[in-house]
A and B are shown apart, each in its own frame.
Chain A
Amino acid sequence: QVQLVESGGGVVQPGRSLRLSCSASGFTFSHYGMHWVRQAPGKGLEWVAFISFDGTDIYYSDSLKGRFTVSRDNSKNTVYLQINSLRTEDTSMFYCARERFDPWGQGTLVTVSS
């Protein structure tokens, strides 16, 4: 079955960097674009980034552009999200989702705290 599994979250100090991973299985990963979406505790959903099936087209939320970098490795069926200069307001659950937002992974929690 189609499955997405995020990893890489944890507790990190402000100003540090983190790389999240999303490992895909059950479908031909190299045929699909992928999204990252985040959700702060008790808040709504915020789209972060999209990367096309081959990595040639990348789009970011205007409000988040600059500190976030999405990439993928089709040989590993994995999409990544690099987050630099982490801020306390980045504390969120980060989800990956396949191209049409179906399905989603279970999420990985990033907590930014000193």
Chain B
Amino acid sequence: DIQMTQSPSSLSASVGDRVTITCQASEDINNYLNWFQQKPGKAPKLLIYDASYLATGVPSRFSGSGSGTHFTFTISSLQPEDIAIYYCQQYDNLLFTFGQGTKLEI
């Protein structure tokens, strides 16, 4: 199975900061990577698909990059409403795998 390793597992930042989360795949997954945001008590929400494409309605301060095995998720200017847990997920094969999550706090 493809393993996804996210880092850091938790992160504290200030409003306006640039925040970066990384996700490493155990093997080449091309660009088949999603990023999700999950707020407390809510279902996950798709933010980024195919590693770098913004999902519909998602603010442009969110972005993704990378290919192969190394991927990056960035919030260009952290807002209070961005407090959440963020997950990467690979879908290169038909056995989808999530990273362990990054808890973002202000």
A and B from one assembly? yes
Q: Using A35-B96, A47-B96, A47-B98 as known contacts, say yes or no to A106 and B89 having CB atoms under 8 A apart.
A: no
In-complex Cβ contact of A100 among B44, B46, B97, B99 (8 A): B46
Q: Are B44 and A44 in contact (CB under 8 A)?
A: no
Residues of B within 8 A of A100 (CB): 46, 49
Q: Using A62-B1, A102-B46, A104-B45 as known contacts, say yes or no to A44 and B95 having CB atoms under 8 A apart.
A: no
Residue of A nearest to B91 (CB): A101
Which of A46, A101, A105 has the most chain B CB within a 10 Å cutoff? A101
Q: Using A50-B94, A59-B94, A62-B1 as known contacts, say yes or no to A104 and B44 having CB atoms under 8 A apart.
A: yes
Residues of B within 8 A of A95 (CB): 43-44
Alpha-carbon distance between A100 and B98 when the two chains are bound, in angstroms: 14
> What total of chain B residues lie within 8 Å of the partner, measured CB to CB?
21
- What bracket does the count of chain A residues touching chain B fall in? 10 to 19
Residue of A nearest to B96 (CB): A47
**Residue B30 at the A interface, CB < 8 A?**
no
Alpha-carbon distance between A35 and B36 when the two chains are bound, in angstroms: 15
**Residue B29 at the A interface, CB < 8 A?**
no
Residues of A within 8 A of B46 (CB): 100-103
Alpha-carbon distance between A59 and B34 when the two chains are bound, in angstroms: 19
Complex A-B, nearest 4 residue pairs according to Cβ-Cβ distance, in ascending order: A102-B46, A104-B43, A47-B96, A45-B98
Interface residues of A (CB under 8 A from B): 35, 37, 44-47, 50, 59, 61-62, 95, 100-107
A and B contact pairs by CB, cutoff 8 A, 29 listed: A35-B96, A44-B98, A44-B99, A44-B100, A45-B38, A45-B44, A45-B87, A45-B89, A45-B101, A47-B95, A47-B96, A47-B98, A50-B94, A50-B96, A59-B94, A59-B95, A61-B95, A62-B95, A95-B44, A101-B44, A101-B89, A102-B49, A102-B55, A103-B43, A104-B43, A104-B44, A105-B43, A106-B42, A107-B43
